[in-house]
Structure formats: C-alpha cells, structure tokens
Copies of this chain bind each other. A is one copy, B any other.
C-alpha cells in the first residue's frame, strides 16, 4: 500500500508545471543568448533601476550565492555592471548596460508569447485565481520554519 498519492499532489504538479514553463521560456530565449533567470534580473533592473545584490536576491527570492553566479555570467556577457556603493563599502550596485536594452525588448516579446501559450483557454478570472492560490501556497510555506514544526 502506497500511503500517499504523491503523483496527484500539489507538489508534483507545481514541479512539473514550473519545469515545463522554464523550459519553454529558456527555449524561446536561446537565440538571444540569455536565460530565463537572467531575464528576471533585467526585469527587476528595468522596473527599479540600480539595486544592490542583496536587494536583487531578495526580490528574486533566491539566495545571494545563487545570484552571484548569475551576475557573473551576465557581467561576462556585458549585460550588467557591478559598481561599488559610494556610501557602504560592503555593497555593490548592479546596473543594466546599454547592450542589455535591445535584449530586454526581445525578452518582453518572448514573455508575451510564452504567457499566451501557458494561459491559452484560461479566462482572466481563472488566471487571477491561479496566481492567488499560488500566492497562498507560497505564503503558507514562508511561515513556520520546519525546525519549529518538527520539534513539537
């Protein structure tokens, strides 16, 4: 007896759906030499201007060491630059370069296509419901660190 219908679980569907989304987006971006995650860096910089690495990692909800390597590759490819913060020598400020501007335009094009494919046949209401429910699951999992829970 299995005890757990894991292949029908939310975790299973979250995993396979997100992987498929990333693959579709990355495939679409291949001609521009950029990845889904790099496009998100450019998105945040486009939205908010220069950000520190700590701020950017927070907005992308990834750990700082993960962002370091993403930024390393983007700096190598000339899409971003790092500059020291004039007021706090611990910090580095990340800015998009002129070279990244046409790339961002392509990213937006790809994003619109992938989004349209992903949501084909879903009403605006269903899309809003999906985002709301994902947000709820996300919020639930931010609470109650596992150590506290299992130490009961």
Stretch of A23-31, A67-75, A81-89, A90-98 lying at the B interface: A23-31
Query: How long is the Cα–Cα vector from A25 to B15 in the complex, in angstroms?
Result: 12
CB-contacts of A25-83 with B (<8 A): 25, 27-28, 36, 39-40, 43-44, 46-47, 59, 61-62
The reply to whether the CB of A121 lies closer than 8 angstroms to some CB of chain B is yes
Interface of A is mostly: helix
On chain B, the residues within 8 Å of A16 by CB distance are 61, 138
Q: Shortest beta-carbon distance, A75 to chain B, in Å?
A: 21
What residue in chain B is nearest A15 (Cβ atoms)? B18
Tell whether, in the assembled complex, residue A138 and residue B13 are in contact, meaning their CB atoms are under 8 Å apart. yes
Tell whether, in the assembled complex, residue B10 and residue A149 are in contact, meaning their CB atoms are under 8 Å apart. no
Query: How long is the Cα–Cα vector from A126 to B112 in the complex, in angstroms?
Result: 27
Count how many chain A residues have C-beta atoms less than 8 Å from C-beta atoms of the other chain: 69
Query: How long is the Cα–Cα vector from A43 to B5 in the complex, in angstroms?
Result: 9
Tell whether, in the assembled complex, residue B130 and residue A4 are in contact, meaning their CB atoms are under 8 Å apart. no
On chain B, the residues within 8 Å of A129 by CB distance are 129, 133
* A residues neighboring B (CB under 8 Å): 2-4, 6-25, 27-28, 36, 39-40, 43-44, 46-47, 59, 61-62, 105, 107-108, 111-115, 117-122, 126-127, 129-131, 133-138, 140-144, 146-147, 149-150
